[in-house]
Structure 1
Amino acid sequence: MTIPDLTRDDSHDDPAPALPRVVDEQTWQAELAELRRREKAATRELDAIAAQRRRLPMVKMPEYTLEGAFGPIRLVDMFEGHHQLIVYNHMWHPGEEFQCGGCTYFSSQFTRLDFLGNYDARFVIVTQGPIDEALAYRNRVGNQMAWYSTANSAFGADVGAPPHGGFALNVFLRDGEDVYRTWHTDGRGVEQVTHIFPLVDLLPYGRQEHWQDSPEGWPQGEAYAGWPEPEDIARWYGR
């Protein structure tokens, strides 16, 4: 089944693809309260997970030199004086005009990151692409994050994002000149730092992907069917 384009026009007489059952206010409040109990339990579990994450040991990193907009830069200098650094390793396909759609989709949502300074932290992108090509792509899709290249460094491969490999999310802690790796995830683990899917999961139809547990008759299609293409993102950002 093809996911309907619900933004196709502004008419108000087109029927919805599917409808939840209609109940009275009291019944709805009761069922909402039952769901809320599970939501609160999940929130407490996420708090416990974050507490465990803060107690993880760490691994000391060797020295790395990457490439930035102004030339070679040491990993320790990418912190720009902060003690914590979040790095998203963006997939890269040599010679392609538009890079990984999922990575572009993920990184395009971060347009305001200055608030991290209040938490003594910074968030950057590192990719295997040559720095000139990486910065050109950053501008092409309207990305707002600082980009660095690990094309001439083992850094990407050492943190789970080798050449021709996947994406990764890593966190580092600086103690003086020493840098430590404190956390890593990939795959769907990256969803926890995005607002995209939490917003979509609030909707009655959810992500509309076939793997999701939805009522019979709900609109569902292939995985990733609702994801925009990099060309779409570039257009949305006026590029």
Structure 2
Amino acid sequence: MTAKALPPVVDTGAWQRHLDDLRAREKAATRELDAIAAQRRRLPMTEMPDYTLEGEEGQVRLADVFGGNSQLIVYNHMWFPGKEWQCPGCTGFTAQFTRLEFLEDYDARFVVVTQGPIDQAFAYKRRTGNRMAWYSTANSPFGTDVGAPPGGGFAVNVFLRDGDTVYRTWHTDGRGTEQLSHTFALIDLLPYGRQEDWQDSPEGWPRSPTYSRWISSEAVAARYGPGPDA
């Protein structure tokens, strides 16, 4: 089947010239990201209280969530009480992370923290096939203090541990989390991209409302989870 909208067809030489023009911008963006990362490494930090979260084996101090490492990335997963299926964006985002052991080579760990009660959080984790380590801040102000209060949005926070003292070094939310995802990076390589209304695409390119192509939490569970009878 022929697509309704196609990029212009040119000879190989013209194609290479267009690619070279784009490559120059891509390389400049890479250098800018390097500079941003360098500035991030120079950010000051702020000391955190001695929070107590809940994990698979009960209460745990924030300093112990590091698992013996000195660096910690936390994804604050949105949670809505009484809902069978939680935020599809958070559910789909965290479903990507199945092999995080490489962070151990960098003295780091990546975990999920949610406002949901720990028993419900673990039930949801199993149902959706999530493989990350989960913790609950339902009985702690930790989530509120790092930009993810009850009923609020998602966030990413990074922490550094010096002995038993924990410092907050970085925070982002919204589209700032895209840099952690491989899904958008791959989709953005495609000729038609994300196919969402807000994107700058040529006339005639397929378009759909924002988020309409995102899969539901139920679909994530169907793809990656153990099934409803597990």
TM-score range for the pair, normalised by the shorter chain length: over 0.9
Hey, what does 1:149 align to over in structure 2? 136
Structure 1 residue aligned with 2:160, among 173, 186, 205?
A: 173
Amino acid at match of 2:93: F
Residue by residue over 1:78-112, the C-alpha shift from the partner in whole angstroms, topping out at 9 and shown as x without a partner, is 00100000000000010111100000011000000
The alignment status of 1:71 with 2:58, answered yes or no, reads yes
The alignment status of 1:49 with 2:36, answered yes or no, reads yes
**Identity percentage of aligned residues:** 70
1:15 CA drift (Å): 1.8
1:225 CA drift (Å): 1.3
Hey, what does 2:150 align to over in structure 1? 163
1:201-216 alignment to 2 at 5 Å?
201-216=188-203
TM-score, length of structure 1 as denominator length: 0.94
Task: Report the number of matched residues.
Answer: 226
SS state at 1:182 partner = strand
Superposition CA RMSD, Å: 0.6
Task: Using the TM superposition, name which of 223-232 and 118-127 deviates more.
Answer: 223-232
Amino acid at match of 1:169: V
Distance (whole Å) between structure 2 residues aligned to residue 225 and residue 196 of structure 1: 15
The alignment status of 1:112 with 2:94, answered yes or no, reads no
Amino acid at match of 1:193: L
1:17 CA drift (Å): 3.2
Distance (whole Å) between structure 2 residues aligned to residue 110 and residue 16 of structure 1: 33
Residue by residue over 1:174-204, the C-alpha shift from the partner in whole angstroms, topping out at 9 and shown as x without a partner, is 0001000000000000001100101000000
| Moved segments of 4+, more than 2 Å | none
Structure 2 residue aligned with 1:230, among 195, 217, 220?
A: 217
Hey, what does 2:89 align to over in structure 1? 102
SS state at 2:134 partner = strand
Amino acid at match of 2:113: V
Structure 2 residue aligned with 1:189, among 154, 166, 176?
A: 176
Amino acid at match of 2:169: T
Hey, what does 2:21 align to over in structure 1? 34
Residue by residue over 1:10-38, the C-alpha shift from the partner in whole angstroms, topping out at 9 and shown as x without a partner, is xxxx2213100000000000000000000
Q: Structure 1: state its 5+ residue gaps.
A: 1-13
Distance (whole Å) between structure 2 residues aligned to residue 58 and residue 154 of structure 1: 19
Classify 1:231/1:17 alpha carbon distance in 2 versus 1 (closer, same or farther; 3 Å): farther
Q: Structure 2: state its 5+ residue gaps.
A: none
SS state at 1:161 partner = coil
Distance (whole Å) between structure 1 residues aligned to residue 224 and residue 213 of structure 2: 18
Distance (whole Å) between structure 2 residues aligned to residue 177 and residue 74 of structure 1: 9
Residue by residue over 1:127-158, the C-alpha shift from the partner in whole angstroms, topping out at 9 and shown as x without a partner, is 00000000000000000000000000000000
Hey, what does 1:9 align to over in structure 2? none
Amino acid at match of 1:148: Y
1:73 CA drift (Å): 0.5
Amino acid at match of 1:106: F
